[in-house]
Structure 1
Amino acid sequence: MELIINQLSKTYANGVKALNEVSLTIPQGMFGLLGPNGAGKSTLMRTIATLQDADSGSISLDGIDVLKEKQAVRERLGYLPQDFGLYPRINAETMLDHIAQMKGIGNKAERKEVVASLLQKVNLFKDRKKGLGTYSGGMRQRFGIAQALVGNPSLIIVDEPTAGLDPSERNRFYNLLSEIGENTIVILSTHIVEDVNTLCSNMAIICMGEVLMQGKPKDGLEMVKGKIFQKSIDKSDLDTYRKEYQVISTKLISGRLSLRIESEGNPGNGFEAAPADLEDVYFSFISKKVDPITI
């Protein structure tokens, strides 16, 4: 099973070109879509989820024309948007039962079994009678995954799912997504490189509506292997270094900047070779489209 996106474009009424001939082939498993805020990720996710139309291009899910056969896609889709509303006074069990009914599970006994199973899967069964408004951020996200899983979807989209989660909640979420990704297509849209590095066997980097890289994380690492160098500098010298070197990222540590650059050979001038990581891959591509980001 594959999701095939071919030359997808979208320009909004205000002139913003959110997607510029985006083409991606997404296989079964966890697929990471990396990009900064405003890169076009959410536009792409909403278009795949049949929530908005594209200006041109095509999307195919296992032979289904996503842009034309929207109901057929929705029957196979689980979607967890970045921001989703909850009825605060309704408990998780009742809400999931309602969602299951809307997904076409008409038999009451079958719905009860499905709801209980999903709540067990996301570790919310003991909290099933609590109002959704009392849930923590991590519990809300786990409930979001539970509702996305109703109906055994073959395509699941999760948009910035770990934003705002503490480390322990993030780890639980990682484990849950990894389990789900064994038997379906899961698209993880995020700007957090660690999420993709931890979870995804395939990935793409998108910026300003364009796909800059697609492949396996190890393929990206191979592209920058032996090309990353770092040096600690004064903040006031940053502009000078940007003029002389291909700066991909900077990090402020104790009042000084840890500068990372990409170079085909050792640039000297106090730079030291640094092991490349997926964050370097990300910033290497992004920095060629926008100014390097200070993090």
Structure 2
Amino acid sequence: MLWHMAIHPARRIWATLEPLHVVTYFGSGVKESALALGLRGVSQAYFAYRAAPLGAVGAGAVLATFSVYHRDAIARALPAAWEHTTPQHCLEARLALSTRVLRECGAGSAEAARAVALLTPVQQSADPTGRALFAANAELPLPEDPVGALWQLATSLREHRGDGHVAALITHGLTGRHAMVLQVAAGKTLQSVARTVRGISEQEWSDAVDELRAAGLVVGEPTSPTLTAGGGDLLDRIERATDESSWRGALSVLSQDAIAEVTTTLAPLVKRIRAEIIPAASPMAMGEVED
């Protein structure tokens, strides 16, 4: 549950679209799709698939835009992936994979088409300033298949929010590593999962905890930090800034009725994805969106 925060409409939409997007990374067949392209496995596929809209970029561009990964973890995947495949092939593979997984989870053409009709104007009017991952995804053509189009729109809009979240972290003087420690301290994800998946060594994690402890934001050992009142307040401010940036920069074109329709229509699909596709121990730090 969020720290003393009323639920912003932008957060409700994010809680609907984020699970749709991440089937690319957690759905069945990810490893097989990667191997078919000549990639080494799921980790390399993650970086190549997500970065593909940017072109054949290297570790630097991905570090700047993804924010929470160690450079070495990225460098093991990119630019080496482009020796085996192309960004275009990755775009095709991730779309085919995601569309199939969404359909297997119950996504129907009619509700997908309705959500696409509501979300397309959001993407078209969204402000791309400083939002590289959003802008690159928004330039991709929407598939004719409404389920595929829904996945692409969900991806573009979650990257819009993600880009804004990185900006909020920078504004508040935090690195991506600090952000992961704060999410662990807030109980949103496990230290062992967050550190391992992001490629952060025990010493680097400990150093980040020490920095936040010195700033009065967390207490406790590196393996089990907890937020102080000041840390909770800072996390609230960052999340509010992210919500407001997402809302003003894109989502405010949706009426309250449209928000209710999108979230309600897609709720059964989202529930199934969260129950069957997203691992219980994941670094996503989504938690539950509650009133």
TM range, smaller chain:
under 0.3
TM-score for both structures, normalised by structure 1: 0.25
Higher CA-based Rg: 1
Structure richer in strand, relative to its length = 1
TM-score for both structures, normalised by structure 2: 0.25
Structure richer in helix, relative to its length = 2
Could you say which structure has the greater relative contact order, defined with CA pairs below 8 angstroms and 6 or more residues apart?
2
